[in-house]
């Protein structure tokens, strides 16, 4: 067999294996779990944005902005005690960021800047050096830079227009890490894998996949949301090498049957394992309309009298015929459930009420989540 033909055959086999894995619904372990210790930390700071084009805080309504600006100027050696200044090109902001895991001193991270006063826009502003603190009160990063606002605003004497959110923006790579999180990851002898969606079946499959790949029992399911990985038994040089070996293993997750509805937008999302028992449904709408049309009665010309407003009310009740009593057959697959519900011929918002009633009747076998 010639080398080119062997190469082509190998590529075809790899494609078939990839298609089979995708059709089986397998997911990498790293997309199913959180590794114990591999986590970020939230940072928060309070700072000042300067250089705004007259769209900053009104210092009369935001006295904290004036106080912050005075403190910054005094640190720079400028005495402003007793001075009255009312600039319109500064704004007080909250600065937020996420310190990624294993971030080293000198690395840069993105920050989000949000106005907390009555500033109209942060477009074109520059964030002055702002320390960012973690939950322990320590400073882990310092932010500074030009803000990229997420919108724009314009106004005139008789109107204004706003697009997006001009009072919030980002600074890409706007903060520099000054302190590292003290965590000896390399010295761990065991590591816990926390499932994002706890499930006993998924945890057992993760345990089986890791033990099968390593060739010996190094993973142990502790509960539905935790799998412990023995670093020492894996004989890996470090915990990082152990995770690099197992995080890309493919596992088919098992998920709960779930129906999620959003009442504001009328959105309905169903999981693959949703099942429904045989049930009969009747649905109709009752509409009540009340309309006020007052009538003004005036006296004849040159006659004595006053204009009187006579109230006139029209009330009406309208009941739509509805769908009658319709049967929704038992569904053994998602396609059959959808077909049975679509046969009712109702709008999505009415479908939400029907699903609630079916769930209350015990015929919908899924977790019902309303947002």
**Spatial CB neighbours of 125, under 8 Å, sequence gap ≥ 6:** 49, 50, 51, 52, 56, 91, 146, 147, 149, 169
Task: Report the pLDDT value the prediction gives residue 20, as an integer from 0 to 100.
Answer: 43
Is residue 285 a contact partner of residue 319, using CB atoms and an 8 Å limit? yes
Q: How would you classify the pairing of strands 367-370 and 258-262?
A: parallel
Largest interatomic CA distance in the chain? 117
Task: Report the pLDDT value the prediction gives residue 46, as an integer from 0 to 100.
Answer: 92
Note down pLDDT in tens along the chain; length 371 residues. Answer: 444 544 444 444 444 344 444 434 789 999 999 988 788 899 999 989 988 888 877 766 667 777 777 777 777 777 766 566 667 888 889 999 999 988 899 999 999 999 988 888 888 899 999 999 999 899 999 999 999 887 666 666 666 677 677 888 999 999 999 998 887 787 888 889 999 989 999 999 999 999 999 999 999 999 999 999 998 888 888 888 888 899 999 999 988 888 888 877 888 888 888 888 887 877 666 556 677 777 777 777 777 777 787 787 777 766 666 555 666 777 767 777 777 777 777 777 778 888 888 888 888 888 888 88
**Spatial CB neighbours of 333, under 8 Å, sequence gap ≥ 6:** none
Supply φ then ψ for residue 151, to 5 degrees: -170, -170
Residue whose entry in the numeric block shows the structure tokens 């590794």: 35
Domains of the chain (ranges, CATH numbers):
23-37+185-251 (3.90.1150), 41-152+161-177 (no CATH), 258-370 (no CATH)
Task: Report the pLDDT value the prediction gives residue 368, as an integer from 0 to 100.
Answer: 86
Written in H, E and C, the secondary structure of the chain is: CCHHHHHHHHHHHHHHHHHHHHHCCCEEHHHCEEECCCCCEEEEEEEEEECCCCCCCCCCCCHHHHHHHHHHHHHCCCCCCCCCCCCCCEEEEEEEEEECCCCCCCCEEEEEEEECCCCCCCCCCEEEEEEEECCCCCEEEEEEEECEEEEEEEECCCCEEEEEEEEEEEEEEEEEECCCCCCCCCCCCEEEEEECCCCHHHHHHHHHHHHHHHCCCCEEEEECCEEEEEHHHHCCCCHHHHHHHHCCCEECCCCCCEEEEECCCCEEEECCCCEECCEEEECCCEEEEEEECCEEECCCCCCCCCCEEECCEEEEEEECCCCCEEEECCECCHHHHHHHHHCCCCCHHHHHHHHHHHHHCCCEECEEEEC
Task: Report the pLDDT value the prediction gives residue 263, as an integer from 0 to 100.
Answer: 78
Cα dihedral 351, 265, 338, 343 sign = positive
Task: Report the pLDDT value the prediction gives residue 174, as an integer from 0 to 100.
Answer: 93
Task: Report the pLDDT value the prediction gives residue 322, as an integer from 0 to 100.
Answer: 58
pTM of the model: 0.64
Give the whole-angstrom CA distance, residue 352 versus residue 263.
8
Copy the structure tokens of residue 196.
Answer: 């994002």
Task: Report the pLDDT value the prediction gives residue 193, as an integer from 0 to 100.
Answer: 92
Task: Report the pLDDT value the prediction gives residue 158, as an integer from 0 to 100.
Answer: 61
**Spatial CB neighbours of 188, under 8 Å, sequence gap ≥ 6:** 37, 231, 239
Give the whole-angstrom CA distance, residue 224 versus residue 203.
6
Task: Report the pLDDT value the prediction gives residue 131, as an integer from 0 to 100.
Answer: 94
Nearest C-alpha neighbor of 175 from the set 145, 133, 134, 137: 145
Task: Report the pLDDT value the prediction gives residue 296, as an integer from 0 to 100.
Answer: 77
Residue whose entry in the numeric block shows the structure tokens 């900053």: 56
């Amino acid at each position: 067999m010639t080398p080119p033909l062997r190469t082509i055959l190998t590529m075809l086999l790899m494609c078939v294996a990839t298609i089979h894995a995708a059709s089986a619904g397998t997911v990498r372990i790293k997309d199913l779990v959180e590794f114990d210790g591999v986590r970020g930390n939230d940072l928060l700071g309070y700072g000042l944005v300067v250089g705004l084009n007259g769209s900053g805080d009104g210092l009369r309504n935001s006295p904290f902005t004036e106080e912050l600006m005075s403190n910054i100027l005094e640190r720079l050696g400028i005495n402003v005690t007793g001075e009255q200044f009312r600039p319109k090109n500064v704004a007080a902001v909250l600065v937020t960021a996420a310190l990624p895991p294993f971030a080293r001193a000198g690395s840069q991270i993105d920050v989000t800047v949000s106005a907390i006063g009555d500033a109209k826009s942060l477009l074109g502003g520059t964030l002055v050096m702002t320390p960012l603190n973690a939950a322990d009160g320590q400073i882990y990063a310092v932010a500074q830079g030009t803000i990229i606002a997420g919108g724009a605003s314009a106004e005139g004497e008789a109107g204004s227009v706003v697009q997006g959110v001009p009072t919030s923006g980002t600074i890409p790579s706007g903060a520099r890490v000054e302190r590292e999180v003290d965590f000896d990851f390399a010295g761990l002898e065991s590591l816990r894998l926390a499932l994002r969606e706890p499930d006993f079946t998924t945890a057992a499959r993760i345990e089986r996949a890791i033990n099968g790949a390593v060739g010996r029992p190094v993973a142990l399911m502790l509960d539905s949301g935790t799998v412990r990985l023995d670093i020492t038994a894996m004989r890996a040089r470090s915990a990082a090498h152990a995770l690099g070996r197992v995080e890309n293993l493919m596992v088919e997750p098992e998920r709960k049957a779930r129906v999620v509805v959003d009442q504001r937008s009328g959105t309905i999302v169903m999981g693959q394992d949703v099942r429904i028992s045989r049930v009969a449904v009747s649905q109709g709408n009752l509409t009540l309309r009340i309309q006020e049309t007052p009538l003004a009665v005036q006296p004849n010309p040159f006659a004595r009298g006053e204009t009187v407003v006579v109230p006139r009310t029209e009330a009406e009740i309208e009941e739509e015929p509805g769908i009658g009593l319709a049967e929704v057959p038992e569904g053994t697959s998602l396609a059959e459930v959808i077909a049975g519900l679509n046969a009712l011929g109702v709008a999505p918002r009415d479908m939400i009420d029907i699903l609630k009633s079916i769930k209350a009747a015990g015929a919908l076998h899924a977790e019902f989540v309303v947002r």
